[in-house]
Structure 1
Amino acid sequence: MSAEPLQIHDARFLINRLIEQAPTHTLVREFFMNAQENAALAPVGHREVRVYPTLIDGVRKLTFWNTGPGMDDSELRTATNLSSSINKPMALDGNFGIGAKVSGLTLNPAGIRYRSCKNGIVHEVTIGYDEDEQTYVRYPVEFEDGTEDTVYDVTSAVLLAETNISFDWAEVVLFGEDDGHDTVSRPVGTNTGVERSYVTSQVFRRFSAFQPGVVVRIDVSMTKGGGKGETGRFRRLKPLSSVIPELPNAETVTCLDTEVSVHYVHDPKHSNYSHSISALKNPATQSTTFCALVHKDERYDIKNKKRWSAAAPNFGIPFGSTVLTVEIILPHKMALPNQYRDGLTSPEDRSPLTVEHFAATVRELMPEWVKEVIRNAHPPSDDNLDDLQHDLQQLLDEFKVPTIAFGPSKALPDRVENVDDGNDESEQIEGDRLDEGDEGILRSIRHKTRRATQKNVRKAPEGAKLSKESKALERVPTIEILTALEDIEAKGIKGRAGKFYKDAQTLFVNGKYSAVDRMAAELEPSFIGQGEPEEVRALVLKAAQRFTAFRVGKATCYAISKRLVDDWSVDDLDRATSPESLSLAADDYRQSVNAARKWVRTELKLSEVEKVD
């Protein structure tokens, strides 16, 4: 007896589940992808996709139209089955034959109308939900003689509407939730409002390139710019790849080991307009910088606007995310789309792939011109934090915490094994302890007022570098104090003292955190009448910010040291350096008040000396 292939026992239940569990945000992707793939099969020069409103009983319905091989009645019937496709092979890494139908029907139970012109004959079918059948069906129509069918010839009807049938084409109209649903203004549900250019933006963001030779045109009622309330005029939509030559700089760098490529794009605002250069070159849509995975010309896990600004430091971009786009281009064999194509998975274990998995690659491959853009985007500051970083490094060195790079495994471990045997807690080595009141940041202040001593640090000879032992110890994070409200909001630390990006080893401190203001208010009365009031106030605020940064940095160093403790998991370490935990450390500002007063007094004395000179 031969093997028996498995069958679907309850096909109706399976179909209903596939449709009703489908994500709604993939709707535009699915219908556009079908349209452009079919258009790419048309003769060169006749490959076109259009998106526009169709009036059905006075209500606008979202419509996708394309050139390319048409379908007859038999093919149209087959195409509206699940796991079925015409002119495209089915494959796990290719076409599934269900995407547009399942994501379309979950949002359009009232129906999806398909029309296709083949050899001058136009056939039509409408699929949707049938209450009586309690499932999704092809709706039948009744003819004058009383017969019924689900796929039928509408050539005469389209000729009355003066539609061209001299070449093959296909059209899909989305009816929505009911007859009164305007699927142009609310394509993802009657209760979900979207911007006018939602469909256009979805196409632009999802596709890094269109099929060869395909031209995409969107009705002006659905694009940026003029034309709101109009219809019948079209704007051409171009992918970002088409406008790259117009931008200041762009470069693709490939990792030879993994074949992963990173596309870095500099897309600043135009000098005369508030829009980015790419947006001006592509007026149909709003173009903003982003980070995304790219697989077979489609983007996944897209982070833009605030999500990109908040994530960018992990990719080596602490500043400049508003003018830098990063596309992480994966080899075909490295990823597979998931069932509904709203994410990528690893072929080995089907675990989700995200942009964060490739943050180290983005940092390592980063060209020098990108680093220069980042440096230029750094907020101006006259505050040197080298002394603060130095003191925190000394504190961290006491714990002898090895870097992950020098851990026993080349893979990123959950934790680094202890460097000593039998330690249950982080154990400090013998040595001088830092006293924030007498040493710490104040050491650099005293250096400013003394002549050279034997302890002065000399410059290293040209070509010298850190010893292997020094490099093996964890380096203290780079501290950035943010004072601009837009920077604070972009990093997601409004109302928080700071945020630690462990992969990029960067610690952002909120210079406007409430504890900073409270500390400054307590310090200021001590210096009334000791200088120009505004200068004193500025110095006091700077002291409050610096010592808040020191407390937050110290808490981060203590948290990093817990890598040596077996009982601390990765989740525990992350919680210890969470913005909320760092905020608690910052709130204890009174421990720093005396040291801050000394710092301000010293700075005031130096200021007086400079004025005399």
Structure 2
Amino acid sequence: MRRFDTNGNPLGDVIEVTEMLQAKDTHRLDKDWTEVVLLGNHADQNTALDPYDGDPAQKGFWLATYLYHRFYRLPENVEVRLLEGTHARKDGSRRFDTISARRTKGVFAQHETVELPNGIRLHYIYDEPMADTSHNRSVSGSIASNLSTCAVVFQGEMYGVLTGRSWTIEAPSFGIPFGARHISVHIELSDDYPVLPEGYRQFLRYADGEQDQVEAKDFALQVLENRPEWLVDLIHSMAPNSGDSSDEIRSRLQDLLNKLRVRATSPRVDDEGDLDVDLGSGRGSVEGGTSRNGGNGGDGRHKPDDLTVVQTGAQMARMAQNMERAPKLIPLDDALEIEEKQIIGRAGRYYPASGELFINMTYPAVPLMQEQLGREYSQAPDPEVMRQMARGLSRNSMINRVGLAVVFALAKRINREWDEEAMGKALQPESLSLAADNYFDSLQDARRMLGKTLKLKRTDGQEEEQESAIA
């Protein structure tokens, strides 16, 4: 709002108040200071606690959390203190420490920094759970939020911060399919990295090209490929053990992809790219086989052979190089993990960057198929064995249907009428859910397996009853 003095002259945003306060003798004048006034909507609004007048509502320590997710480090000669009522502790003023400062003080269970050849520094932090609570261990002594975060850091400030659900749903693309609630990743750019802060320093833009906004996901592949070994082991330890035959199903999906001859998108050399590459002698290149004079000795040089980026844990395609790889199938039963991936009421979510497919095993198609098989084979001599088989067959058929939906969506890459945007729509959770709903086509194979194993025919009339219900 533009303000004016008593003579109608416009006032700036900064007012020199020294002379005004000398007469009042209410403020210290022996040191420089700045007073910031937050203007509310009415006289009763406490803008230090409720800056938006309840729309949206803010926690009492919003200011401490804002600073915590804003400044990654402070200059050595700067100390910030928060007075009582502006932080998460109950009394007294508290010193503000940045994430970087708390890391050096040993607040977090484990952390490691990986420096890349292009000057980017990747900070990996593990904040272990605190006893039987829903908090991370860093909540002890914290004056702000203790949620894990992912952000881009430039010149000591954090941009594009992901936290809470926003982070857990994106984390698999960064190679963190499990445990994102306790794992933070910060991508720190060098001071001369070609980016420019926006006027209010709310976000970064690339200095070149169309000056797109910089986001953490732009560096997801680097984060995935440079994860420390201890972090990879930690993530694997947090993975659920579902007991489903997902490996066998994945092998069949890979065979199908090989037959369809769907090629993966291969990286290309770009002089303006972020990564330094060398043909070298490892995977991705072979020794030159024939010299100019027709001999077999070659000239010692290498030629590109297979430039496909090999994803961690990805299953190799056997029939041809650069073939698309089958998704890694990850069934989820835990309600919290299903919520984190935002697939409540959805069949699954696929992450192309990491090749991981998370499948919601509580999706209605699973219990509906299990229930029908239970009715049809209710006369089994051992009902418990029958129920366990029905459950396993229902779950595996669900995994297979969702996996097939992903495979056929990837197969659209060979169709020139389908671009990447169209493929992306086919891989959305809603599209996968439609494929999962048709469990009726899976019933016959399940019946055949149950009948062969239990030496039992299904109860008459159940199939007709089901078909009538569908009609």
TM-score by length of 2: 0.79
3-state SS of 1:154 partner: helix
Give the alignment of 1:130-529 within 5 angstroms.
137-138=11-12, 153-156=19-22, 158-159=24-25, 161=26, 163-189=27-53, 191-227=55-91, 233-244=92-103, 245-256=106-117, 258-271=118-131, 274-280=134-140, 282-332=141-191, 333-349=193-209, 350-405=211-266, 409-410=268-269, 470-529=320-379
Deviation sequence 1:119-172 (CA, Å, 0-9, x none): xxxxxxxxx5469999973599xxxxxxxx98661234552x3x4333333322
Amino acid at match of 2:422: D
Counterpart-to-counterpart distance in 2, 1:275 and 1:291: 17
**Which residue in the other structure is 1:11 paired with?**
none
Q: Which runs of 5+ in 2 are unaligned?
A: 271-314, 456-471
Q: Cα distance, 1:321 vs. partner?
A: 0.5
**Which residue in the other structure is 2:443 paired with?**
593
Deviation sequence 1:173-221 (CA, Å, 0-9, x none): 2233344432112213563321111111010011111221322211221
Q: Cα distance, 1:601 vs. partner?
A: 5.4
3-state SS of 1:169 partner: coil
**Which residue in the other structure is 2:284 paired with?**
none
**Which residue in the other structure is 1:18 paired with?**
none
Give the alignment of 1:527-606 within 5 angstroms.
527-530=377-380, 533-534=383-384, 536-600=386-450
Q: How many residues align?
A: 407
3-state SS of 1:299 partner: strand
Contact 1:254 1:365 (8 Å CA) reproduced: no
Q: Cα distance, 1:285 vs. partner?
A: 1.2
Deviation sequence 1:307-354 (CA, Å, 0-9, x none): 111101111111110111000111222321123322111110211111
3-state SS of 1:322 partner: helix
Counterpart-to-counterpart distance in 2, 1:261 and 1:604: 59
Q: Cα distance, 1:267 vs. partner?
A: 0.7
Amino acid at match of 1:354: E
Counterpart-to-counterpart distance in 2, 1:318 and 1:603: 36
Distance 1:243 1:577, change over 3 A: same
Contact 2:169 2:342 (8 Å CA) reproduced: yes
Name the structure where strand makes up a greater proportion of residues: 1
Counterpart-to-counterpart distance in 1, 2:357 and 2:7: 59
Distance 1:135 1:345, change over 3 A: farther
Counterpart-to-counterpart distance in 1, 2:168 and 2:128: 15
Q: Cα distance, 1:528 vs. partner?
A: 1.7
Distance 1:362 1:577, change over 3 A: same
RMSD (Å), alpha carbons: 2.8
3-state SS of 2:69 partner: helix
Deviation sequence 1:517-564 (CA, Å, 0-9, x none): 221221111232436545543432332121111111111101101111
Contact 1:237 1:285 (8 Å CA) reproduced: no
Distance 1:139 1:557, change over 3 A: closer
Contact 2:128 2:137 (8 Å CA) reproduced: yes
Q: Which moved more, 1:295-304 or 1:532-541?
A: 532-541
**Which residue in the other structure is 2:297 paired with?**
none
Counterpart-to-counterpart distance in 2, 1:139 and 1:223: 27
Q: Which runs of 5+ in 1 are unaligned?
A: 1-108, 110-127, 141-148, 228-232, 412-464, 606-613
Distance 1:274 1:509, change over 3 A: closer
3-state SS of 2:219 partner: helix
Q: Cα distance, 1:468 vs. partner?
A: 8.6
Give the alignment of 1:68-83 within 5 angstroms.
none
Counterpart-to-counterpart distance in 1, 2:83 and 2:125: 29
3-state SS of 1:472 partner: coil
Counterpart-to-counterpart distance in 1, 2:185 and 2:224: 11
Q: Which moved more, 1:388-397 or 1:216-225?
A: 216-225
Q: Cα distance, 1:283 vs. partner?
A: 2.2
Residue identity (%) = 28
Distance 1:157 1:519, change over 3 A: farther
3-state SS of 2:325 partner: coil
Distance 1:468 1:535, change over 3 A: closer
Contact 1:497 1:510 (8 Å CA) reproduced: yes
3-state SS of 1:206 partner: coil
Amino acid at match of 2:427: T
Amino acid at match of 2:61: S
TM-score by length of 1: 0.62
Counterpart-to-counterpart distance in 2, 1:522 and 1:377: 33
Deviation sequence 1:418-437 (CA, Å, 0-9, x none): xxxxxxxxxxxxxxxxxxxx
Distance 1:531 1:267, change over 3 A: farther
**Which residue in the other structure is 1:421 paired with?**
none
Counterpart-to-counterpart distance in 2, 1:236 and 1:275: 21
